A and B are shown apart, each in its own frame.
Chain A
Amino acid sequence: MTAPVDVKPPTPGLNEGERDYVNRVAEHYRDTDNMAWEHGFLIGWLMICDPVEQSAGELCKALGVRRESVDHIDALLVPPGVLTRKELPGGEYALAMSLDVWPKTVQHSMLAVPSFHSVMEHGLQVLEGEPEERRRRLLNMERFFRYLGEELPAVFDRYEASAPLK
């Protein structure tokens, strides 16, 4: 998903501390997801920008990113609710990071691991009698997600015991 022009944006509207933070977020996503620089900078900036809500034009100006990068982040993070989008006059829109949704999204995806594991189990039944080479992908995943499915929900039980998610 690396954009055609994939370089760190100049961030003309940020101070030194903000730039350092946003750069670290982008470096993290670069490493874990090979995310395009402009996308990572946008996610980082939406965590700390002031005001919380920013128009697409303001985001482009503060970070020096292309409009299509803002549109990409809009398409990526508005559907799961991590960002909320507000329509503005003239086809413009504004984005804001929604406080509670990110933790809930993380929790939801971890709590969904047991159900993903049961899908893998079902797949092994479907491939019963098939050659080992065909089954091996699922065998690996079934074992891995069986373990995670037992462990990850407990991680959230302990988190909620310490601080209930809103």
Chain B
Amino acid sequence: MSESTVQPDAIDRIEQTDQPPPTPGLTEGERGFVHKVAQHYRNTDNMAWNYGYVFGYLMICTPVQQRASQIVEALGVTREDVDRVSQLLVTPGVFERRDEPGSDDFLMWLPDGNWPKAVRYSLVNMPRFHEVLKRGLEVLADAPAERRERIATLEHLYRHLAVEIPAVFDRFETATAK
């Protein structure tokens, strides 16, 4: 399911007590922005507040490269939250991370252009995912309707997206190449 604005892997079971972090190191304007980012992911992915705050902060922090310990201090989140965000968004190529030898601290940052690149990559892969789903229909060719229904529903959706989404990016690339 790699079609969200961020990988929906970014979802953890939300605790009832989940609250936005205190953000002691942010100005009012920064806090407002970071909160809106977190609210977006809360809404789309049911994401824990602290993860959304780390996402938003890495979009606007200065300097661009921040130590995990600095993020913890600026936002009032836990080190576990920062580790979790690094697991979520370093592997798909959104954030970059540099470990510091001899220390368990590390640097994390959002390189310019990485976020659009990662979103684009997962979206333009839709035709390939559609091929996978078609294979699923073949494998279940003789299975009862109840068993086929999941794949049939998804295949129908991705057949549409496989045509439409690459065309969206073709138009974007034509428009930005001018």
- Which residues of A are interface residues toward B (Cβ below 8 A)? 1-2, 17-18, 20-21, 24-25, 28-29, 31-35, 47-48, 50, 52, 75-80, 82, 97, 99-100, 102-103, 105-106, 108-110, 112-113, 115-116, 119, 122-123, 126-127, 130-131, 133-134, 136-138, 140-141, 143-145, 147-148, 151-152, 155, 158-159, 162-163
Contact = CB atoms under 8 A, between A and B. Distances in A.
B149 A21 contact: no
Q: Please tell me the size bucket of the interface on B.
A: 35 or more
B36 interface: yes
Nearest to A127: B60
Interface stretch (B67-75, B99-107, B116-124): B116-124
Nearest to A46: B150
5 contacts: A21-B132, A47-B151, A80-B45, A106-B3, A109-B8
Nearest to A17: B139
Contact of B5 (A116, A123, A126, A159): A116
Tell me the interface secondary structure of chain A in the complex. helix
A99 to B, nearest CB: 6
B175 A147 contact: yes
Interface of B: 1-5, 7-9, 11-14, 29-30, 32-33, 36-37, 40, 43-46, 59-60, 62, 64, 87-88, 91-92, 110, 112-113, 115-116, 119-122, 125, 128-129, 132, 135-136, 138-140, 143, 146-147, 149-151, 153-154, 156-157, 160-161, 164-165, 168, 171-172, 175-176
A144 B176 CA distance: 10
